[in-house]
Amino acid sequence: MATKIETRPAATVSPGNATASGMRGIHHLALNTDDLKKTCEFYVEVLGMPLVHTLTTPPDGAKRAATRGNPPFEQIRHYFFDMGGDSLLAFFEMPKSQPTADRNELAAMQHVAFAVSEERYDDIMARLKKHNIPIADGPLNSVPPDTWSFYFYDPNGIRLECATDKGKHKPNDLDVVKSCTQTPDEVRRELATLTDDKAWIERMVATVPTGRSTP
C-alpha cells in the first residue's frame, strides 16, 4: 500500500516585502546528502514540504563548479523542496565517499531553524513522534525572547529547529525580524564586549531599527 503523503500549502508572501538591504530573504538554501531517497521521504512525508523541482547537473559539472560554486562532481542530483515563505530548501546528492562535516567547525552550517505558526509547531512535533524521530532538545523558551523551539535531526545528521512565537501573530505573519530586534542600547552594550572601538560600535548601532524603548 502506498504511503499517503501529507503536505502543507506554501504560505503566501508579498513580492514587495523587501528590507532596506534590498533583499527579501532566502531564495534557496542548498545542503548536501548522500542518500537523496531517504532525504525526500523525510522532508516530504515527515515535515510535509512539497518536492517542487528535480534535476541532474550537466555532464560538465566538475568544470563548471569552479565558476558556479557547485559540487565538483559529474551529473549529481539536485532537488528542491518548498519550505514556506516563498523560500526553497535544496539538496545535492553527493558521492557516499565524501566525509561528514562537523557542524561546530568554522564555515560549517550549525543548524537550520524554520519559522512556524503555533499550530504547525505542534503538528511537526506530532509528525516526528509518529515516525519515531526523537526530539533532541525542547520544547524550550529560547533566545530571542518569547521564541519557543525544539531541535531534531534529519537523516543526514543535519540539526533542525522549529521556532514559534506561541500564537502572538497570524500564521503567515510571524514577524521574525521584529521579534528579534533589540533596542540600540541593548546592541551597544553587547558590542562593547566585542571591541572598545566606539566609532565602529556606533556605525553598527546606526543600522538598528528604532521603535522599542530601553528596558
CATH of 110-180, one of 3.10.180.10, 3.30.590.10, 3.30.379.10, 3.40.50.300: 3.10.180.10
Residues 156, 93 contacting (CB under 8 angstroms): no
pLDDT band, residue 19 (cuts 50/70/90): low
Do 25-94 and 110-180 show the same overall fold?
Answer: yes
Return d(Cα 15, Cα 85) in angstroms, integer: 11
**13 pLDDT higher than 50:** no
Q: Which helix (H) or strand (E) holds 72?
A: none
Question: To the nearest whole number, what is the mean pLDDT of the chain?
Answer: 82
Q: Which CATH architecture has domain 25-94?
A: Roll (3.10)
HSE value, Cβ hemisphere, 13 Å, CA-based, for 75 = 1
Return d(Cα 84, Cα 25) in angstroms, integer: 12
List the chain domain ranges. 25-94, 110-180, 181-215
**204 pLDDT higher than 60:** yes
